[in-house]
Amino acid sequence: MNTFLSRNRLIVLAYIGMLLLVLITAFFSPGFLSASNLRSTFILASFVGIVALGQTFVIIGGGIDLSIPWVLNSAAVLMTLLCAGQDLPLIWVVPLLLAGGGLIGLLNGAGVALLGVPPIIMTLAANVILQGLILVFTGGTPTPAAPDMIKFLSVGRISGIPVIALIWTALTVLAWLLLSKSAFGRHLYAVGTNVTVARYSGVPTTRTTILTYVISGMTAALGGILLTGYSGVAYLGMGDSYLFTTVAAVAIGGAPILGGSGHYIGTVAGALVLTILTGLLPALNLSSGALLVVYGAVILLTVSIGSETFSEMWASASNRRKRIKEGTENG
């Protein structure tokens, strides 16, 4: 564990930042630390965290998944339509939609790993195509309400603990096992670090890359299904904010956008930071436009503090200060 922490200093930094943010928020809006508020913060963070799980895998592998918004949205719309408010169909609808999300990921991954399409283009195209298909399919009409079971999973509690937090915890454990304790994890980090070296070391690079997109498609679909329970209905555009938040959660969590390192444990902190931030900003009495500006700027700042150039700047600045102090350099 010690080596994990020393190798992932940025993750430690993300958690420290999160604690600071909690203190600041508690100062500005004292109600923040109440049980009900903490619970709703956790519920909201869970959606970001679950959807960002797949994004974390894709980014570690050196790619990016921009198809998340409409994979999520499609799963939400199809779930409500296919269940029509009933719990029973969930038995086959949920597995079907998860498989569907996985299939979109498979296509994304195949395009990237087999055909060499740049990830940005491949997944952006998938996103637009899905958006079009859903618009054609629904004709823009509202869909039925979410089944009660889904509502229970999203906002229900078991002895005071939100069910979705339990789901999130289970997924976090699974992601940790995959990244830190499995051969797939080693392959993934190798592919993200240097795909040629990975190939020359006998790593199944194509399969590894494709699998990250499959995971991302599945977590996006799962996120869509669960989010419907929170909002009560599926609506068009409900996934749009998740593109930025998933990438930001991964980045705040310390994973370099070019891949090769980082961990889902960091993304968890990233998801919490983002959610707490959206809770803090209204407390500052800002207009909704100003809110977005601050939101974006804070994320930009957090991510750049962790970036390599920034830390190099810090290092060289402090070296210079030291030299000036020692008198080996003037001014």
Partner 1 sequence: MDIVQVKGLTKRFGGIVALDGADFSARLGEVHALLGENGAGKSTFIQILSGALNHDGGDILVDGQDYRPVNPDEALGRGIAAVFQELSLVPDLSVEQNIWFRREPRTWLRTVDVSQMRQQTLELFERYHFPSIATTREVRNLTLAERQIVEVAKGLAKNPRILILDEATSALPASEATWLLSLARQLADEGRLVIFISHRMGEVRAIADRVSVFRNGSTVATHDAAAVSDDQIVTEMIGRQLARLYPERMDTATDRVALQVRDFSSPPMLNGVNFDLREGEVLGVGGLQGHGQREMFQSLFGADKALGSVTLWGKPVCFDTPRQALSGSEGIALVPEDRRGQGLLLTKSVRENLSLPVIRRFSHLGLLNQRKEAELVRETMKSLSIKADTPEQIAGTLSGGNQQKVIFGKMLMTQARVLLLYDPTRGVDVGTKGEIFQLMRQLASEGYAILFYSSDLPELVNVADRVMVLRSGRVARMLEGDDITEEEILRAAVFDSEAA
- Shortest reach from residue 54's CB to partner 1, in Å: 19
Give the nearest distance from C-beta 322 to partner 1 in angstroms: 10
4-9: long-range pairs with CB below 8 Å, 24+? 4/180, 8/254, 8/261, 8/262, 8/263, 8/265, 8/266, 9/254
| HSE-CB for 258 with a 13 A CA cutoff | 5
How near is the Cβ of 84 to partner 1 at its closest, in Å? 38
> Is residue 307 a contact residue for partner 1 (CB under 8 A)?
no
Residues 122/105, Cβ–Cβ less than 8 Å: no
Of the candidate residues 198, 238, 273, 299, the single one contacting partner 1 (CB under 8 A): 198
Residue 319 binds to partner 1 (criterion: CB under 8 A): yes
What are the tokens at 217? 């498609």
| CA 119/CA 58 separation, integer angstroms | 10
Among 261, 291, 305, 307, contact with partner 1 (rule: CB under 8 A): 261
67 and 92 Cβ atoms separated by less than 8 Å = no
Would you count residue 157 as binding partner 1 (CB under 8 A)?
no
Q: What are phi and psi of 308, to 5 degrees?
A: -65, -45
Measured distance CA(313)–CA(119) in Å, rounded: 31
Q: Does 3 interact with partner 1 (rule: CB under 8 A)?
A: yes
Q: Is 199 in the site for partner 1 (CB under 8 A)?
A: yes
> By rule CB under 8 A, what count of residues binds partner 1?
24
**Contact mark string toward partner 1, 168..197, x via CB under 8 A:** ---------x---xxx--xx-xx--xx-xx
| Positions that interact with partner 1 (CB under 8 A) | 3, 177, 181-183, 186-187, 189-190, 193-194, 196-204, 260-261, 319, 328
